[in-house]
């Protein structure tokens, strides 16, 4: 069996790698708080499905959207870390469209990355959107940003107020995978109504906590020679053990378009995903290709002249339709 690290091995080996990853992880600081929030959110939305039906006549569904990149600390008292490019734009935009489609969303995001409903605000919203009013006593929204600020506040408060958005943040690879496991185990009770939309850019290599330097690594010691372990791909256990009835969508990112679809196809089969969204780094905001378990390859494009503002709009519409069929046929 391929373990996702290019080696042949057994299920026991994969389980051992995963166990070793979690054993080597520092305990999640906020784990009680996270699990209380999760329990409350899932309970509330499970009950909601009994009382309400959505616009399309289905029970309420819950999606976990992962967003942004994970860091890999090099020191326990971390001064340096390895990071990646992900801005979290995909996850934030997708969350908005899922909420609009009536989903409850658990937004697992990298601290400091793009947030749902705030994408149209400038980079430094506090300093750019606000100004002093008369005599410098009060603060008001600058007229050029008033529509964007109003929309952000209204839509965000509506989503949170209606109990449709739970935001949980991570920084490191350790936090991300521990939280993903907690979320998946909590969502198990939802059966096929649960969806995972794994847009986070997850590190492939890490320094195990046990072998990590405690203090800042000294540059006076000369060039740094460091061995990184491979992060076990959790996609297989996610779909098989943690949330076996959930609808799972993973992403495949490449910079070489020649290998993108081939790799996405392989990921679909290897990790038994229901769909894989393939994207290339530089064109990721313009086009994605969805690979399905029925061997379809569906191109989804942004087209501003036709009013398709971002690729996530039609992408989420497609996934919502496929998820509905999955639930109905389950
Ligand atoms: O955030 P943006 O700037 O908007 O960019 C969006 C995006 C390009 C990050 C997003 O669309 C995307 O492609 N996310 C996945 C990037 C990625 O990590 O690709 P990958 O081919 O290395 O991994 C494939 C899948 O395996 C991913 O769903 C990832 O969550 C998962 N994975 C990866 C590594 C690992 N150790 N374990 C995993 O489970």
Quote the ligand 1 centre to 185 CA distance (angstroms): 21
CB 203 within 8 A of CB 133: no
C-alpha triplet 198, 202, 204: angle, nearest 5°: 135
Residue 3: predicted pLDDT: 41
Quote the ligand 1 centre to 275 CA distance (angstroms): 14
Q: What are the backbone dihedrals phi and psi of residue 171, each rounded to the nearest 5 degrees, phi first? A: -125, -55
Q: What is the pLDDT of residues 77-107, one digit of tens each?
A: 999 999 999 999 999 999 999 999 999 999 9
Closest CA to 266 of 287, 252, 279: 252
Name residues of the chain where pLDDT drops below 50.
Answer: 1-8, 50-58
CB 261 within 8 A of CB 287: no
CB 37 within 8 A of CB 166: yes
Residue 52: predicted pLDDT: 43
Residue 13: predicted pLDDT: 83
Residue to probe by mutation, ligand 1, list 199, 264, 275, most atoms within 8 Å of CB: 199
Q: Is 239 in the pocket of ligand 1 (CB under 6 A)?
A: no
Residue 49: predicted pLDDT: 56
Quote the ligand 1 centre to 68 CA distance (angstroms): 9
- The distance from CA 126 to its chain's CA centroid, rounded to whole angstroms, is 26
Residue 54: predicted pLDDT: 46
Quote the ligand 1 centre to 53 CA distance (angstroms): 33
- Per DSSP, 124 falls in state S
- CA–CA gap between residue 325 and residue 323 (Å, rounded): 5
- The torsion defined by the Cα of 265, 270, 274 and 276, in degrees rounded to 10, comes to -40
Beta bridge partners of 251: 277
List the residue whose alpha carbon is closest to atom 14 of ligand 1: 199
| Domains in the chain, CATH or no CATH each | 11-119+156-329 (3.40.50.10300)
Residue 135: predicted pLDDT: 74
Q: Is 251 in the pocket of ligand 1 (CB under 6 A)?
A: yes
Name the residue with tokens 């009950």.
47
124 CB burial (10 A radius; 0-12, 13-18, 19+): exposed
Q: Where are the alpha helices (DSSP H) in the chain?
A: 11-24, 31-51, 89-100, 125-129, 146-161, 173-187, 235-237, 257-270, 312-329
Name the residue with tokens 């569904």.
61
Using the Cα atoms of residue 86, residue 284, residue 126 and residue 109 in order, give the sign of their dihedral.
negative
Q: Is 74 in the pocket of ligand 1 (CB under 6 A)?
A: no
């Amino acid at each position: 069996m391929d373990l996702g690290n290019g080696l042949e091995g057994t299920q026991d080996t994969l389980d051992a790698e995963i166990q070793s990853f979690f054993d080597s992880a520092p305990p999640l600081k906020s784990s009680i708080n996270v699990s209380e929030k999760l329990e409350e959110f899932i309970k509330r939305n499970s009950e909601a499905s009994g009382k309400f039906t959505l616009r399309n006549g289905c029970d309420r569904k819950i999606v976990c959207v992962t967003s942004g990149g994970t860091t890999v600390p090099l020191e326990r008292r971390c001064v340096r870390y390895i990071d990646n490019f992900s801005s979290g734009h995909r996850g934030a935009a997708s969350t908005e469209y899922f909420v609009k489609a009536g989903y409850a969303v658990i937004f697992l995001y990298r601290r400091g990355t793009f947030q749902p409903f705030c994408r149209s605000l400038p980079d430094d919203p506090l300093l750019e959107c606000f100004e002093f009013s008369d005599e410098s006593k009060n603060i008001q929204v600058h007229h050029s940003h008033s529509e964007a600020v109003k929309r952000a506040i209204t839509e965000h408060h509506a989503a949170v107020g209606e109990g449709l958005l739970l935001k949980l943040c991570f920084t490191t690879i350790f936090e991300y995978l521990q939280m993903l496991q907690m979320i998946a185990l909590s969502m198990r009770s939802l059966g096929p109504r649960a969806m995972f939309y794994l847009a986070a850019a997850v590190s492939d290599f890490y320094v195990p906590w046990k072998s990590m330097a405690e203090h800042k690594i000294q540059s006076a010691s000369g060039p740094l020679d460091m061995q990184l372990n491979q992060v076990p791909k959790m996609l297989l256990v996610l779909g098989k053990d943690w949330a076996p009835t959930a609808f799972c969508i993973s992403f495949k990112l490449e910079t070489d378009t020649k290998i993108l679809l081939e790799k996405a196809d392989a990921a679909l089969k290897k990790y038994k995903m229901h769909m894989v969204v393939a994207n290339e780094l530089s064109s990721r905001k313009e086009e994605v290709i969805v690979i399905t378990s029925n061997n379809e390859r569906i191109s989804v494009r942004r087209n501003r002249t036709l009013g398709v503002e971002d690729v996530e709009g039609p992408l989420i519409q497609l996934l919502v339709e496929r998820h509905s069929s999955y639930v109905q046929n389950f």
